[in-house]
């Protein structure tokens, strides 16, 4: 299934995308695409519904983030071998984890605001995992069963805040609007091989990232297993899993967003995003 949320910011309703590309309202079945609505039992209930029995959503409404009320937004750094190479970093022996602020999450086509004082705002197309049943100490061979689905994330980053201001990476990762998610949450049964999906990102029509999940150092199942050793993963938690090469930091000289750019990105089978980057105006 391809599940999504639509409507005005803060008033999103759950929906699914039918086989003809129409939005079908799910608000009579679940209150939101969030929390316990993402457990295996809930998704099985949704999957048993005939989409044509659901109300069709008219027009072209705004798409919200494909998962709501996210409590934990966990990110993995330097998780693509070719991206590590472009930054000159060593291959990590274990996953590098940091947090993005959950309230930085926005819809896939919402504007992204370059923060006050930013001089190094960067882009990162990423595969995001949305947790279903979750838990602690999840065995790797059970990890896929703990996942509700996958989506596209733009892990927008401010590199000066992240690298040059001391402390942890979180400083450059959680600014408002720095977490576009969607357009859809695609359930695991629709993805044949999560470790073999093409990924891309363009700036004003110029392709700058062109990679694949096959170069991930730590795969999706292992990341769920690994992270669950340190925290409990709850339904609706999001893990964004790293980016392929082509980020602004890797250009020679580095290249960053100033405002006025249109950024489009996508992952095979998971849909596309399109954002206007807007300079902070106070």
Q: Where are the domains of the chain?
A: 2-53, 73-279
Along the 282 residues of the chain, how does pLDDT read in single tens digits? 999 999 999 999 999 999 999 999 999 999 999 999 999 999 999 999 999 999 999 999 999 999 999 999 999 998 998 877 777 778 889 999 999 999 999 999 999 999 999 999 999 999 999 999 999 999 999 999 999 999 999 999 999 999 888 888 889 999 999 999 999 999 999 999 999 999 999 999 999 999 999 999 999 999 999 999 999 999 999 999 999 999 999 999 999 999 999 999 999 999 999 999 999 987
Residue 227 is given by DSSP the state H
Q: Tokens 């090469």 identify what position?
A: 245
CA dihedral 250, 66, 184, 249 (to 10 degrees): 0
The dihedral built from the CA positions of residue 102, 107, 111 and 112, taken in this order, carries a sign that is positive
Q: Which CATH number fits domain 73-279: 3.40.50.10710, 3.90.180.10, 3.40.190.10, 3.90.850.10?
A: 3.90.850.10
b/e per residue 234-253 (b: at least 16 CB within 10 A): bbbbbbbbbbbbbbbbbeee
To the question of pTM greater than 0.75 for the whole model, the response is yes
How many of the other CB atoms lie within 10 Å of CB of 56? 13
What whole-number distance in Å separates Cα of residue 251 and Cα of residue 74?
Answer: 26
CA distance 231 to 182: 25
Q: Do residues 68 and 140 make contact, with C-beta atoms less than 8 angstroms apart?
A: no
pLDDT tens figures, 215-237: 999 999 999 999 999 999 999 99
Per-residue model confidence as pLDDT tens digits over 90-126: 888 999 999 999 999 999 999 999 999 999 999 999 9
């Amino acid at each position: 299934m391809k599940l999504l949320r639509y409507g005005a910011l803060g008033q999103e309703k759950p929906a699914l995308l039918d086989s003809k590309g129409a939005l079908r309202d799910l608000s009579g079945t679940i209150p939101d695409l969030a929390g316990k609505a993402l457990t295996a039992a809930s998704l099985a209930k949704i999957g048993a519904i005939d989409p044509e029995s659901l109300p069709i959503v008219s027009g072209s409404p705004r798409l919200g983030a494909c998962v709501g009320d996210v409590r934990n937004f966990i990110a993995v750094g330097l998780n693509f071998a070719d991206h590590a190479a472009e930054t000159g970093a060593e291959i990590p022996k274990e996953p590098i984890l940091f947090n993005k602020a959950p309230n930085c999450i926005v819809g896939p086509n919402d504007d992204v605001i370059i923060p006050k004082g930013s001089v190094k705002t960067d882009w990162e197309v990423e595969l995001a995992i949305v947790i279903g049943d979750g838990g602690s100490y999840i065995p790797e061979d059970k990890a896929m069963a703990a996942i509700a689905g996958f989506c596209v994330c733009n892990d927008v980053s401010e590199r000066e805040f992240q690298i040059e201001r001391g402390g942890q990476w979180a400083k450059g990762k959680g600014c408002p609007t720095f977490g576009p998610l969607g357009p859809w949450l695609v359930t695991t049964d629709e993805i044949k091989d999560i470790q073999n999906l093409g990924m891309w990102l363009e700036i004003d029509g110029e392709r700058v990232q062109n990679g694949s999940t096959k170069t991930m150092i730590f795969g999706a199942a292992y990341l769920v297993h690994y992270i669950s050793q340190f925290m409990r993963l709850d339904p609706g938690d999001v893990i964004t899993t790293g980016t392929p090469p082509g980020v602004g930091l890797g250009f020679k000289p580095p290249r960053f967003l100033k405002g006025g750019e249109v950024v489009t990105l996508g992952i095979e089978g998971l849909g596309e995003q399109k954002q206007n980057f807007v300079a902070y105006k106070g």
